[in-house]
Structure 1
Amino acid sequence: MKSVKPKKNLGQHFLTDLSIARRIADTVDAHPDIPVLEIGPGMGVLTQYLVEKPREVKAVEIDSESVAYLYERFPRLHENILGEDFLRMDLATVFDSKQFVLTGNYPYDISSQIFFKMLDNKELIPCCTGMIQREVALRIASQPGNKAYGILSVLIQAWYDVEYLFTVDEDVFNPPPKVKSAVIRMMRNNVTDLGCDEQLFKRVVKTVFNQRRKMLRVSLRQIFSGTKPSNVFYEQDIMTKRPEQLSIPQFVELTNMVAEQFAFFEKKNIER
């Protein structure tokens, strides 16, 4: 069976350490009763341990050479090897609208996009595990007050409990990446409603972190695009903080404050 050559344009770094592959596969056992979708199986180093588990496994792979290899190596998975782009998939169709665990050795250059798609489908994905660049893993797991705390930290932790499980060195990959990797697990928390407009919450978080060194009273001006909030809005204590100082409940509070200003502008426009 001919090996697959890692492709730089797809960000492929094939894991070669089988003990680490087994450890990653075992992270899905935190949610044992639902199917698993693996992203980017490559040559199946993780897949071989996932298929040992008593549940349905599907794998999505964009690289046609890897798909052909997986067909040959895992003939019984033939119908469950999906030669598609995960970022373009309708995830509700994968397991007929049933929930599933998401896992994989994620391509570094699209890991953030993968997790944003996870958030868009959070009701389908109660558990997400896998390996990513260590820097991104630290960002996702970071708490307020740390430099790593940012957009991913807030948006993911609003809906998931995050565990940083272990670090993986560069020398267990072919080819070795230039950075360390890490394995994380994200489990859906009990939040069903943030207590604010979810789309506005995302917008507020992204806006203020795009100017993370500035106080909120400065960075928030972008969100109002020409309109001017009341002086009282900017005089509140929270406005002297920088985004990395805010907890998720404080971001919810801030979002509701912004929503009140939008409602005030709308009312004024109606009265004119």
Structure 2
Amino acid sequence: MLPSIAQHANQHGIHPLKRYGQNFLFDFSLCEKIVRVSQLKIGANVIEIGPGTAGLTRAILASTPKSLTVIEADYRCVALLAEIKHLYPNLCIIQGDALNWKLSDLTTNDHKIDIISNLPYQIGTTLLIQWLKSTNYINSITVMLQREVVDRICAKPGTKTYGRLSILCQLICDVQKCFDVAPKAFYPPPKVYSSVVRLSPLAVIPEISIIERVELITRTAFGERRKMLRSSLRSLDKNIEDILYSINIDPESRAENLTPTDYLTLANLKLNFLS
């Protein structure tokens, strides 16, 4: 029988450290809610990044996955996780930086994974973009991030929060914002609200080379988002105005006016800059 999440952390002398960006979740009911919205199936193979004091870890294990692999940078938390492993042999603990691990190192195409994490905010977006390029290994991604980042992921064209992250996520996944989480849910409380978002890879996903072109085009367009596309995208092709007309895009539009599909159409063209 395990002690409460907070008691377990106290037994191991674990307190939040700024260098790891730690804000611990001691509310097990909230952890259970995250697992519920993930739609995790019995017998799933799961990966969790930054388990910390293992509140979410416990909730995932209670859902009877086939395996749960956690990657934790803080050595103090590894001993705590090892105690949980005595009760749940299907828990695999890796101590290290999640940025150094590829999904291909952790699974195979034959055993796709579900990712469920309260992500360290300083690396959350970087990890998510990495995963978007490895969706052949993924069933679903359910993560908690800053609310402003989740709002960007889910943003629609023409809104202030719509941008490169919105486009990449929506071209590759079906995205669903699940719920917001107030700062008081954490210890210590962060200065911002958080949100949980679920991403499910689409049935048909553009090739990596096309996604990389989308990244380049959106970086160019949103790098000068106040300019009309005929100006902001001129570096892609000197005939960009005619090209935009040919695919029914108004050259006087701005970056936030194009849909993800519009950017995909552009990425599939043989622009001089991309050839």
- Name the TM-score class by shorter chain: 0.7 to 0.9
Distance 1:216 1:63 in 2: 46
Look up the SS of the partner of 2:135 in the other structure. Answer: coil
- Whether 1:86 and 2:98 are equivalent positions in the alignment is yes
- Pick the aligned partner of 1:122 from 128, 135, 139: 135
Q: Could you tell me which amino acid in structure 1 is paired with residue 142 of structure 2?
A: T
Q: 1:65-89 deviations in whole A, cap 9, x for unaligned? A: 1112211343345860111211111
Q: Could you tell me which amino acid in structure 1 is paired with residue 258 of structure 2?
A: L
Give TM-score, length-normalised by structure 1: 0.87
- Pick the aligned partner of 1:71 from 82, 95, 115: 82
Distance 2:59 2:94 in 1: 18
Q: 1:26-47 deviations in whole A, cap 9, x for unaligned? A: 2332555531101110010001
- The answer to whether the Cα contact below 8 Å between 2:176 and 2:198 also exists between their aligned partners in 1 is yes
Look up the SS of the partner of 2:145 in the other structure. Answer: strand
Q: Which runs of 4+ in 1 moved over 6 A?
A: none
Q: 1:95-122 deviations in whole A, cap 9, x for unaligned? A: 3442100111111111110111111211
Give structure 2 stretches of 5+ with no counterpart: 1-10
1:269: which partner in 2?
none
Distance 2:267 2:181 in 1: 37
Distance 1:198 1:138 in 2: 21
Within 5 A, what are the aligned runs for 1:243-262?
A: 243-257=255-269, 259-262=270-273
Query: Following TM superposition, by how much is the alpha carbon of 1:58 offset from its aligned partner in structure 2, in angstroms?
Result: 1.2
- The answer to whether the Cα contact below 8 Å between 2:108 and 2:137 also exists between their aligned partners in 1 is no
- Pick the aligned partner of 1:215 from 214, 228, 250: 228
Between Structure 1 and Structure 2, how many residues are aligned? 260
Distance 2:42 2:169 in 1: 22
Q: 1:155-210 deviations in whole A, cap 9, x for unaligned? A: 01101011111110001111110000011111111223369833212211122112
1:132: which partner in 2?
145
Query: Following TM superposition, by how much is the alpha carbon of 1:260 offset from its aligned partner in structure 2, in angstroms?
Result: 3.7
2:34: which partner in 1?
24
Cα distance change of structure 1 residues 203 and 53 upon mapping to structure 2, 3 Å threshold: same
Query: Following TM superposition, by how much is the alpha carbon of 1:7 offset from its aligned partner in structure 2, in angstroms?
Result: 1.2
Distance 2:229 2:218 in 1: 11
- The answer to whether the Cα contact below 8 Å between 2:233 and 2:240 also exists between their aligned partners in 1 is no
Distance 2:255 2:39 in 1: 35
Look up the SS of the partner of 2:32 in the other structure. Answer: helix
- The answer to whether the Cα contact below 8 Å between 1:31 and 1:127 also exists between their aligned partners in 2 is no
After superposition, the CA RMSD in angstroms is: 2.3
Q: Could you tell me which amino acid in structure 1 is paired with residue 82 of structure 2?
A: Y
Cα distance change of structure 1 residues 134 and 195 upon mapping to structure 2, 3 Å threshold: closer
- The answer to whether the Cα contact below 8 Å between 2:180 and 2:196 also exists between their aligned partners in 1 is yes
Cα distance change of structure 1 residues 41 and 239 upon mapping to structure 2, 3 Å threshold: same
Query: Following TM superposition, by how much is the alpha carbon of 1:222 offset from its aligned partner in structure 2, in angstroms?
Result: 3.8
Give structure 1 stretches of 5+ with no counterpart: 267-272
- Pick the aligned partner of 1:59 from 58, 70, 75: 70
- The answer to whether the Cα contact below 8 Å between 2:50 and 2:71 also exists between their aligned partners in 1 is yes
Within 5 A, what are the aligned runs for 1:191-202?
A: 191-193=204-206, 197-202=210-215
Cα distance change of structure 1 residues 170 and 233 upon mapping to structure 2, 3 Å threshold: same
2:175: which partner in 1?
162
- The answer to whether the Cα contact below 8 Å between 2:32 and 2:56 also exists between their aligned partners in 1 is yes
Sequence identity percentage: 32
Which range is displaced more, 177-186 or 50-59?
A: 50-59
